Each structure stands twice: as C-alpha cells, then as structure tokens.
C-alpha cells in the first residue's frame, strides 16, 4: 500500500500527545476511531489508552500496559508505549495529527470501495446493481466537513420547536400524509416524513391492498408523488388493480376481458384518466437489493419529486448472501429506515406475519408476530397489522381490523374497514361497531368491539 494512504508519524504524534496531556483524550476520541489507525500496534495502543481513561486510571505507560500487556504480535505493550511517550513532541499539533489520521482512513476506505466495485464488475451481476452498490458504498463514507458539528445545543433548536408548536396550535402546521382512511388517520395522525411504516398481515389479508391504496390516494387525491416497489406482482398487474380500485370495476372482469359489461367502460375510462395524470411510479424489477432500491428512489426523488414509498414486500428483497437470513432481513430493515430518514419521506414496508396468531383464541396478531426478523418491529415507527377472521360472519363479509400495534407519535389502537375484494380496495366501515357490553355478552365478534380503543383495552 502506498504511504500516501497512511502517516505513521501522525499516528505516533497523536498517541504521544495523549501521554503528555491526558485531558485531550475525550476530544480525540470524538474525532478519531480505533479503526482509523493504519498500524495495528498504534491501534492497539490507542485502544489501551481509551480503556485506561474510561476506567478512571491515570494515563501513563505503566497503567496503560496494565490494561493491555501485549501488542497483537505478542510483544510488550509497556516497551512500545514507553517508546511512543519518549518520542512525544508535545500537544500543539494534535488536531493536525488527528485530521491527517482521519483523512488517510477515509482515503483507504475510498480505495477499498473502488476495489470492491472493480471486483463486482468482474462478477456476474447486472450493471445497475454494480452501480447501486457503488453508490451505497460511497454514501457510507464518513463526511469530512468539520465545519458542521454532529451535535446541537438544545437552546439553538428551541426556536424551531416553538414555531412548530405555535403552528400546530394555530392550525397552520402541515399535517402528516393522509392514508385516505379517516379512522386510521385519527390513530396514527398521518404518515410522517422520515418514518418507516410497517404494514403486516397473513397471506391474503389485504396488506398489499392497503399499502398500494395509500400510495394511490396520495398521488391521485393529494397531488403527491409516490413510488411503489412491487417485488411480487408485475407492473401491469399493479396498474390493472389501480384501475379496478379507482373505477370500481370488478377485477375478475378486467382480467378476463370478455366478461366486461357496457357500464364498465365509462368507469375504466375515468380511472385511466385519473391515473394518467397521477405522479405514481412503479418498479417491478426482479432480484432487487436494498442498495438498488435506494438508488432508484433517489433517482425518482431527484427527477419527479417523492412523497411516499411503498415496498411490497421486505422478505423478497435480495440480501448480499453469505449470512443468516434473519440477520440479512434485519440489515435490510434498518437500511429502509435509514432511507426514510435520508429522503425525508414515509416509507411503507409490507411484511408477512408468522402463524402465531392462528393458534390464539381471538386470532389477533401482535407486532412480535412479524416474520423473519424482530429488527423490523424495532426499526418501525408505526406498525399496522391487517387482521381479518374469515371464520366469522363479519370477516367472511370483508370486515377487516387495522390494528395499530406500535406508533411512536401516538398510542396503539384499532379501527375497522370494509374490504371490497372485487375492487381490491378498502373503504370506511359502514356498520355500527358493537358496544363493550355486547362484546362482553358474546353477542358480537371480539375484534369488532375494539374500534378506536387503546392498547390497555386489549390486554
């Protein structure tokens, strides 16, 4: 490796400065990481200094070697630390040493990234995936702009917070993006920028219908822009469902074609007109990775604007391979959460539930029932569980419960919607929810008694 990618003198100078003035250690630690050191002996000594300082011991050659007696090659830490201390040049240049070490570490990361991209080019991967991985790798490089701190004084943030509170009080504050379902909006208070919203359910429960319907509402009724990653259905199937939903045209007749009726055509025409004007975008590429999803989403936001993203669904996102699938899905989940924060839009992530709810008396799911990784529940700002019990008359007739099992900016609760399967959409529940007394007396299905009730009522 070229010496331009590291500076041993700077590493020695910084370590020596900490021996001369241990009060520098906290500030150095906030700037330089152990991995930033190129020489393994210097990284080991830096770790020993930090451990000694954290333990509250005096940072000198003797105590540092007490915490770590040997270097990685087995030689004496005491002898090496003494050599560094004896060669110390004072503390006046420590910031320069730290900056040089940090810059060289990032340069090595750039070279490593370039080599990784070069190696990917030799692998049997699509060009778009190679580019996406390169973009992701470059985005992960540390920001070297020292002009803007990574922390903020509370007093500097207060004016903005007070302005937000005042605008909410006066009714002028922008509200979260509406889902198009009023009862659900009351529970989650709209979809907020930067939030990851998980919509989970058993197969055929309607989770895809709900996720796509939210994007459809945002783009056709609110004038926003939405991007749907359809990893299960083709783009043609998805658009056909949009026509059925918006035009109230039976999906079966749309699929068959020959069974369409005369009254269907004006509805189809109307739906097509609305969809043609909508800023609704679809990606149905196979084998999508989270890096590729990020690349496409950034591209769409740059060229078209973006107000909401839907990913259908998380388990179908390809991992990098070579590790436990649960860990892979966990990393994918965290990456999607980071994508929401980066693009400042709500990201709706569809997920499947395990079969745990089917073994319970009331069959109602919980956030912990989300399949493949508990990290999905941890990363989510909002968890909406789509529940329909088809063994009941209500469930057989499409009455569906949306259970808000987690909401960082609200409290858990539930609401009812009516599934119109032939039109692949949900509409507000038109019936009258039973009273608590009716539920207690067994005169109504249990779940229908939880309309707009809090979590305490469900225990």
For 40-69, the pLDDT digits (tens) are: 999 999 999 988 888 788 889 899 888 898
Supply the pLDDT for residue 444. Answer: 39
Q: Where in the chain is the domain with CATH 1.10.860.10?
A: 1-143
Rounded to the nearest angstrom, the gap between the alpha carbon of residue 19 and the centroid of all alpha carbons in its chain is: 42
Cα dihedral 106, 107, 110, 114 in deg (nearest 10): -160
Supply the pLDDT for residue 150. Answer: 56
Measured between alpha carbons, how far is 451 from 430 in angstroms, rounded to an integer? 12
Measured between alpha carbons, how far is 320 from 340 in angstroms, rounded to an integer? 21
Report the CATH fold assignment for 1-143: DNAb Helicase; Chain A (1.10.860)
Supply the pLDDT for residue 436. Answer: 47
Supply the pLDDT for residue 321. Answer: 62
Measured between alpha carbons, how far is 382 from 399 in angstroms, rounded to an integer? 22
Measured between alpha carbons, how far is 337 from 204 in angstroms, rounded to an integer? 25
Q: How many CA atoms within 13 Å lie on the side-chain side of 338?
A: 13
The domain 176-458: what is its CATH number? 3.40.50.300
Instruction: Report CA-CA distances (Å) from 217 to 261, 274, 289.
Output: 26, 11, 27
Structure tokens at 98: 């730290």
Read off the pTM.
0.63
Averaged over successive runs of 10 residues, the pLDDT of the chain (459 residues) comes to: 75 91 84 87 91 84 89 89 88 88 83 73 69 64 49 76 76 74 87 91 87 91 90 87 88 87 89 89 84 85 90 83 74 88 91 81 82 83 88 82 87 87 84 48 40 37
Q: Within 10 Å of residue 447's Cβ, how many Cβ atoms? A: 24
Structure tokens at 124: 């049997």
| CA dihedral for 308, 312, 313, 319, sign (positive or negative) | negative
Place of tokens 């026509």: 243
3-class DSSP state of 204: coil
Supply the pLDDT for residue 455. Answer: 37
Q: Where in the chain is the domain with CATH 3.40.50.300?
A: 176-458
Give Cβ neighbours of residue 250 (< 8 Å, ≥ 6 apart).
Answer: 244, 264, 422, 423
- The vertex-350 CA angle with 333 and 409, nearest 5°, equals 75
Instruction: Report CA-CA distances (Å) from 280 to 212, 220, 273, 303.
Output: 10, 8, 13, 13
- The vertex-355 CA angle with 321 and 379, nearest 5°, equals 55
Give Cβ neighbours of residue 414 (< 8 Å, ≥ 6 apart).
Answer: 187, 401, 402, 403, 404, 447, 450, 451, 452, 453, 458
Instruction: Report CA-CA distances (Å) from 445 to 207, 364, 416, 453.
Output: 22, 12, 12, 15
3-class DSSP state of 311: strand
Measured between alpha carbons, how far is 333 from 79 in angstroms, rounded to an integer? 47
């Amino acid at each position: 490796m070229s010496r331009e990618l590291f500076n041993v003198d700077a590493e020695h100078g910084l370590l020596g400065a900490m021996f001369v003035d241990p009060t520098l250690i906290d500030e150095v630690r906030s700037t330089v990481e152990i991995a930033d050191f190129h020489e393994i002996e210097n990284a080991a000594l830096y770790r020993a200094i930090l451990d000694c300082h954290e333990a509250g011991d005096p940072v000198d050659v003797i105590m540092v070697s007490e915490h770590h007696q040997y270097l990685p090659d087995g030689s004496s830490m005491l002898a090496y630390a003494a050599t560094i201390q004896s060669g110390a040049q004072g503390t006046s240049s420590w910031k320069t040493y730290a900056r040089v070490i940090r810059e060289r570490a990032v340069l090595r990361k750039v070279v490593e990234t370039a080599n990784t991209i070069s190696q990917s080019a030799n692998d049997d991967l699509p060009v778009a995936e190679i580019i996406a991985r390169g973009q992701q790798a470059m985005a992960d490089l540390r920001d070297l702009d020292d002009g803007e701190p990574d922390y903020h004084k509370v007093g500097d943030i207060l004016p903005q917070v007070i302005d937000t509170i005042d605008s909410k009080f006066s009714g002028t504050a922008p509200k979260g993006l509406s889902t198009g379902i009023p009862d659900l909006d009351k529970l989650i208070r709209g979809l907020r920028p930067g939030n990851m919203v998980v919509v989970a359910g058993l197969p055929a429960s309607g989770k895809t219908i709900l996720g796509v319907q939210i994007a459809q509402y945002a783009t056709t009724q609110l004038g926003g822009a939405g991007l749907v990653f359809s990893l299960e259905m083709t783009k043609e199937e998805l658009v056909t469902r949009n026509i059925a939903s918006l035009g109230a045209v039976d999906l079966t007749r749309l699929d068959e074609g020959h069974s369409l009726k005369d009254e269907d055509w004006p509805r189809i025409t109307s739906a097509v007109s609305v969809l043609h004007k909508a800023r609704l975008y679809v990606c149905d590429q196979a084998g999508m990775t989270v890096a590729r999803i990020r690349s496409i989403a950034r591209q769409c936001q740059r060229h078209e604007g973006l107000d909401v993203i839907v990913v259908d669904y998380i388990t179908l996102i390809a991992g990098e391979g070579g590790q436990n699938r649960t860990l892979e899905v966990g990393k994918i989940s965290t990456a999607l959460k980071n994508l929401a924060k980066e693009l400042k839009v709500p990201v709706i992530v569809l997920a499947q539930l395990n079969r745990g709810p089917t073994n319970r008396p009331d069959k109602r799911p919980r956030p912990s029932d989300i399949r493949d990784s508990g990290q999905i529940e941890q990363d989510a700002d909002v968890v909406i569980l789509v529940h329909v019990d088809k063994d009941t008359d209500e469930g057989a007739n499409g009455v569906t419960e949306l259970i808000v099992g987690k909401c960082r900016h609200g409290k858990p609760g539930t609401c009812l919607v009516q599934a119109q399967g032939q039109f692949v959409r949900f509409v507000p529940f038109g019936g009258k929810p039973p009273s608590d007394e009716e539920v207690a007396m067994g005169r109504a299905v249990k779940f229908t008694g939880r309309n707009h009730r809090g979590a305490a009522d469900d225990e």
